Amino acid sequence: MSHVFAVRVYYEDTDMGGIVYHANYLKFIERARSDWVAEMGIDQRAMKDDGGLVFAVRRVECDYLLAARFDDRLEVRTEVASVTGARLVLRQQVERAGEVIFAAVVTIVCVTDTGHPARLPANIRLLLH
C-alpha cells in the first residue's frame, strides 16, 4: 500500500534555470512522510512529549531522473520497504503524470531527545506491517 501526496512546484522551488533545485526534492519527500505519518494516526508531538522519542533520517539514497519545472503538478509516493526493531526503510518517488522523476530510499530511526538511538515503538512497528 502506498501513500500519495500532491505537490505543486512554485517559483521559489526553482533555480536560475527554471528547474526544481535539487535540495527541494528532499523537502517534497519530507512533507510526504510527515503527511503519511499523521494519516496513520501517529502523533509525533506526543511521541516526543510522552516518550522522549523523535524520528530522524539516518540515510537517503536518491536518483534524480528528470527535471521538474515551475507549476508542474507532482505526486510523491511513499511505501514501506522494511521495518525492524530499530529502523524503518521507505521507498519514495516523485512522479509527474505517472512518470518517475526522482527516486529515494530513506532510512528512518528513532532517537531520544538527547540524541541516543532507540527502538521504534512497538505500536508503530505494528502499524507499519
Distance of CA 42 to the CA centre of its chain: 14
Catalytic site residue from 15, 63, 71, 113: 15
Whether the Cβ atoms of residue 107 and residue 101 lie closer than 8 Å to each other: no
Does the annotation count 35 as an active-site position?
A: no
* pLDDT reported for residue 45: 93
Residue 18, domain extent: 3-128
CATH at 108: 3.10.129.10
* pLDDT reported for residue 94: 98
- Reported in sequence order, the residue ranges of the chain that DSSP labels E, i.e. its strands, are 3-8, 53-64, 73-83, 87-96, 99-112, 117-118
Instruction: Quote the pTM value.
Output: 0.93
Average pLDDT over residues 21-47: 96
Could you tell me which residues come within 8 angstroms of residue 14 by beta carbon, excluding any fewer than 6 positions away? 20, 21, 69, 70
Mean pLDDT of the chain: 95
Q: How many domains does the chain have?
A: 1
* pLDDT reported for residue 128: 85
The 10s digit of each residue's pLDDT in 56-109 is 999 999 999 999 999 999 999 999 999 999 999 999 999 999 999 999 999 999
